[in-house]
Amino acid sequence: MKVALIAPMWKTENPYPPLGLAYIAAVLEKDGHNVKIFDLTLEADMPLEDKIDNIVDFSPEIIGMSAMSHNYSDAVSIALYIKKMIDVSIVFGGPHPTIMPEDVLKKEFIDFVVMGEGEDTFLRLCQEIENGKNFKSIEGLCYKDNDNVIIQPRNSYINNLNNIPFPARHLLDLDKYKLIDDFGNKMATIISSRGCPYRCTYCYKGLFGKSYRQRSPENIIDEIKYCIKNFSYKSFYFIDDLFTMNTERVEKLTKSMTDESLNIKWQCLARVNNATLQMFEMMKRAGCYKVHFGIESGNQNILNKVKKGITLEQVKNAVNCCKKSDIKTKGYFMLGLPSDTIETMQDTLNFADNLKLDEMMFSITTPFPGTELWKNVDKNKIGSLSDAFYYSCDNDDIKIFYNLSEVSNEGILNMVRKSQKIIDTANTRRFCERKFGKMIGPLAWQLCKVPYLRKTGKILLRS
C-alpha cells in the first residue's frame, strides 16, 4: 500500500534528516509497501499549501506523522488540511502522542496513535488496514472504537537493534540538509544505541525507554560503509546520547574503523562520567575530531537537583582528556533550572568560560510533557503547548515558556545575554588560534581585550 511519512515544520529549517521516519520507511519497504517521506522542514520559501499538494498527489492510503510538543499544533493543522482533501487514515507518533494519546485522538481527523518505538507497531497497523483490521492484536496502538479510545498495552522495546534495517536514506533529499562538519563536508547522522538508564529530570525517556540497547560494532561499520558507497559520505555524527557508554564497544568500533582504513571524520555525544584518556585517544586515531557533552550547570547543587548524575570534577576531567587527545569539545548548558538563582547561573557562566571549550550552547530550561520537570508545572498557566520549544542564545525572539527557577524572567534573559558575550569571546579566541597558531594566537587575542590596544589586535586579525 502507499504510505506517506511526514515530518512537520520547525521554527527554523532543520538540518537533521528525520532518521526516525527513515527507519520506519525501511521496515515498510522491506514488507513491500510503497513509501515516500515528506519533510516539511525543508524549503522554507515554498508555501505550505504546495508541500501538502505534493502529499495529496501521491494518493497515500495511510499517513504517518511524527510530532513533538513544540510542533504538535503544526502537525495537527497539517493533518486537518489533508483530511479535508482526501480520505486517508492518519497516524500520529513520536514523543508527544506517546505521552498524550487520548488527547491526540480527541481530534476527529486523527485515526491512530503509535506509542513508543514505531517500527513494529506501524508495520502491523499497515498490514491490518490492508488485510484484516484486527487492531486489538497490535501492541502499542491507540485507536477509536465508536466513541471510545482504545489504548493497547505498550509494545516491548526492540532488544536486538541489529535486526532493524538501515534508515531509508534513499527516500530523503539528502543534498537539501545543511548539516556540515568543521571541514566543510556534508555529514551523515547515525544512531548507534537506544534507551537511557539515567534519571535527568528534564529529559523524556518514554519513546525509547530506560533500558540501554546498543548496535554491534560490526552493524555500525556496515552502515558507515553503506553511506560511503551509496551517498559519498565521509563525515558522520553519532547523535545518540550514550555513544561512549560501553567502553568495550567503543574500543572494538574504533579498532575496526582504523583496521579497515575507512578514513572518515566523525563526532559524537558523550557523558562525562565515563570519560578516560585512553578512550578518547582511541577515538582520535579512528577519526573522531569533536565530542559533545551535556554539562547543564556549573553548580553542583543544581546538578544534583536535576539528577544529572555527574560531578564538576568529572566534567573538567572529560574536557581535559579531550584536549590531551586533540579532540574538540562542545558543551551544552541550561539556564533557569529548578532552584537556579542569579548566583548559580553565574556559576554556570564562569564554569563554562573556565573550561575553555571549543564551542558552547546555552538554552533556557523548558519543562516538556512527560519529563519529571513537567510534574511541577501549573497546567493552568501554560497556555498552548505549541509555545514550548527550545531556545538558544542566538534566538532574537526569546520567550520563556515556564519559569521553574528562583529568578524573574528578565533575570534569566539577562543571563542569556551574558552567555552570548562569553560565546563571542570564545569565538574570537579560537579565531586567533586558528589564524596565528597556538603560540601567537593567544597574544593576538589578548591585544583584542586591552582597550587601547584593541585597534592593533583587530588589524592583526584582518591582515
In a domain? residue 391:
yes
The answer on 192 and 121 residing in a single domain is no
Dist. CA 209–CA 367, nearest whole Å: 19
| pLDDT for residue 247 | 95
Task: Tell me the CA distances in angstroms from 312 to 273, 305, 348, 405, one per residue in order.
Answer: 10, 14, 11, 21
The answer on 209 and 144 residing in a single domain is no
Residue where a domain stops, chosen among 97, 125, 151: 151
The answer on 201 and 137 residing in a single domain is no
The answer on 327 and 250 residing in a single domain is yes
The answer on 317 and 226 residing in a single domain is yes
The mean pLDDT value for 325-331 works out to 98
- What percent of the chain clears pLDDT 70, i.e. is strictly above it? 91
Assign residue 120 the CATH number of its domain.
3.40.50.280
Identify the bridge partners of residue 214 per DSSP, sorted by sequence position: 193
CA 248, 291, 404, 374 torsion-angle sign: negative
Residue 457 has pLDDT above 70, yes or no: no
Residue 334 has pLDDT above 80, yes or no: yes
In a domain? residue 14:
yes
The answer on 254 and 393 residing in a single domain is yes
Residue 166 has pLDDT above 80, yes or no: yes
In a domain? residue 361:
yes
Q: Are 60 and 2 in contact (CB under 8 A)?
A: yes
In a domain? residue 239:
yes
Residue 393 has pLDDT above 90, yes or no: no
The answer on 217 and 74 residing in a single domain is no
Q: What is the pLDDT of residues 202-237, one digit of tens each?
A: 999 989 999 999 999 999 999 999 999 999 999 999
> Where in 228-344 does DSSP place strands (E)?
235-238, 265-270, 288-296, 328-335
The answer on 206 and 115 residing in a single domain is no
Task: Give the three cell numbers for residue 124.
Answer: 502491523
| pLDDT for residue 459 | 54
| pLDDT for residue 156 | 86
Residue 126 has pLDDT above 50, yes or no: yes
State the greatest distance between any 2 C-alpha atoms of the chain, in Å, as a whole number: 80
CA-based nearest residue to 120, from 132, 138, 105: 138
Q: Give kind and range of the element (H or E) at residue 70.
A: none
In a domain? residue 161:
no
Q: What counts of helices (H) and strands (E) characterise the chain?
A: 14, 15
Q: What is the pLDDT of residues 240-250, one digit of tens each?
A: 989 999 999 99
Task: Give the three cell numbers for residue 8.
Answer: 512537520
Residue where a domain stops, chosen among 151, 177, 206: 151
More confident residue, 277 or 443: 277
Q: Are strands 141-145 and 112-114 parallel, antiparallel or unpaired?
A: antiparallel
| pLDDT for residue 395 | 46
In a domain? residue 159:
no
How many degrees, rounded to 5, is the angle at CA 400 between CA 394 and CA 403?
130
The mean pLDDT value for 69-83 works out to 92
The answer on 250 and 132 residing in a single domain is no
Amino acid at 118: G
Residue 88 has pLDDT above 60, yes or no: yes
In a domain? residue 325:
yes
| pLDDT for residue 252 | 98
In a domain? residue 452:
no
Residue 392 has pLDDT above 50, yes or no: no
Give how many domains the chain has, as a whole number. Answer: 2
Burial of 301: CB neighbours in 10 Å, binned 0-12, 13-18, 19+ = exposed
Residue 352 has pLDDT above 60, yes or no: yes
CA 102, 104, 109, 114 torsion-angle sign: negative
| pLDDT for residue 287 | 98
Residue where a domain stops, chosen among 407, 429, 458: 407
Helix (H, G, I), strand (E, B), or coil: what is residue 213? Answer: strand
| pLDDT tier, 131 (very low <50, low <70, confident <90, very high otherwise) | confident
Identify the bridge partners of residue 344 per DSSP, sorted by sequence position: none
| pLDDT for residue 426 | 81
Helix (H, G, I), strand (E, B), or coil: what is residue 77? Answer: helix
The answer on 204 and 123 residing in a single domain is no
Identify the bridge partners of residue 141 per DSSP, sorted by sequence position: 114
Q: Are strands 193-194 and 213-214 parallel, antiparallel or unpaired?
A: antiparallel
| pLDDT for residue 397 | 58
The answer on 225 and 145 residing in a single domain is no
| pLDDT for residue 67 | 93
Residue-number span of the structural domain to which 206 is assigned:
186-407
Q: Are 177 and 216 in contact (CB under 8 A)?
A: no
Poorest-pLDDT segment among 41-45, 82-86, 256-260: 41-45
**Contacts for 375 with CB less than 8 Å, ≥ 6 apart:** none
Amino acid at 454: R
Assign residue 368 the CATH number of its domain.
3.20.20.70
Task: Tell me the CA distances in angstroms from 117 to 62, 94, 95, 159, one per residue in order.
Answer: 18, 8, 10, 11
Cβ atoms within 10 Å, residue 263: 10
**Contacts for 16 with CB less than 8 Å, ≥ 6 apart:** 177, 179, 189, 239
Amino acid at 430: R
Q: Would you list the DSSP string of 388-447? A: ----BTT-SS---S---SSS-HHHHHHHHHHHHHHHHHHHHHHHHHHHHHHHHHHHHHHH
Q: Are 136 and 128 in contact (CB under 8 A)?
A: no
The answer on 335 and 216 residing in a single domain is yes
